[in-house]
Amino acid sequence: GIQVEQSPPDLILQEGANSTLRCNFSDSVNNLQWFHQNPWGQLINLFYIPSGTKQNGRLSATTVATERYSLLYISSSQTTDSGVYFCAVYHGGSYIPTFGRGTSLIVHP
Amino acid sequence: EAGVAQSPRYKIIEKRQSVAFWCNPISGHATLYWYQQILGQGPKLLIQFQNNGVVDDSQLPKDRFSAERLKGVDSTLKIQPAKLEDSAVYLCASSLERGQGNTEAFFGQGTRLTVV
């Protein structure tokens, strides 16, 4: 099956800092989602982005499908950004989201 | 628009007991997924339904896990008998379509199962 690698695995920031999270995948994908899992375990949809760039407030995402990676940018981080960020890819004919292991982000005040 | 509803939120059972989880997807969503998330890992697919038919259950441990979606809406996931390694969060998700359509998945809050 497809391999989804996320980096870094852990990230600790001071409030106000910027960060870039990366998602690499081993094969072509039909689509890609970024999620934020908050401390209560809820997966929040951030972006649904097969290619190109999207922005939503302080967050933006870029997927370069031909080079098999996606980036999530967080600017001016806040303590509420803490949690685990997952990317999930849709591969082949199954159209089933396959998840990476996530990036755990802690933002200190 | 209401999100994906799951119940119960928490469950503690002894090994070898049985347990059932319930999921109500977003209204109109044809595709429904059950995922298992073990602490420190990403969610792993157990089963995918399209309406009331199973699309993929290749990773479902069928000797102890079962799932159904009888009327193409609500779904239940059952474990019988439970093992210690089944301790995890069980997540339900739904999407409007499968295939070339809108496949964006939306997740419920999950059920945290502890097997002692």
Quote the pLDDT of residue B99. 63
For B42, the token pair is: 């990403």
Task: Render pLDDT for B61-101 as a digit per residue (tens, 0 to 9).
Answer: 999 999 999 888 999 999 999 999 999 999 999 998 766 66
Segment A72-82 mean pLDDT: 97
Report yes or no: A77 and A16 within 8 Å, Cβ to Cβ: yes
Q: Which residues of B touch A (CB under 8 A)?
A: 31, 33, 41-45, 48, 55-56, 89, 91, 93, 98-99, 103-107, 109-110, 112
A99-108 core/surface letters (b: 16 or more CB in 10 A; e: else): bbebbbbebe
Task: Render pLDDT for B8-59 as a digit per residue (tens, 0 to 9).
Answer: 999 999 999 999 999 999 999 999 999 999 999 999 999 999 988 999 999 9
Residues of A in contact with B91 (CB under 8 A): 43
Task: Render pLDDT for A60-76 as a digit per residue (tens, 0 to 9).
Answer: 999 999 999 999 999 99
Quote the pLDDT of residue A16. 98
Report yes or no: A60 and A51 within 8 Å, Cβ to Cβ: no
Among the partner-chain residues A95, A100, A101, the one whose CB lies closest to the CB of B99 is: A95
Residue B1: pLDDT over 90 = no
Burial class (CB in 10 A: 0-12, 13-18, 19+), A54: middle
Quote the pLDDT of residue B2. 83
CA proximity to A78, closest of A55, A36, A107, A40: A107
- Tokens 């591969």 found at: A91
Q: Hey, is B16 helix, strand or coil? A: coil
Higher-pLDDT residue of B96 and B5 is B5
The confidence band for A101, taking pLDDT boundaries of 50, 70 and 90, is very high
Among the partner-chain residues A4, A95, A98, the one whose CB lies closest to the CB of B98 is: A95
Neighbours of B109 (CB within 10 A): 19
CA proximity to A91, closest of A21, A34, A33, A43: A33
Quote the pLDDT of residue B98. 67
Report yes or no: A54 and A72 within 8 Å, Cβ to Cβ: no
Distance (Å) from the C-alpha of residue A109 to the closest C-alpha of chain B?
A: 24
**Shortest CA distance from B42: residue in chain A:** A101
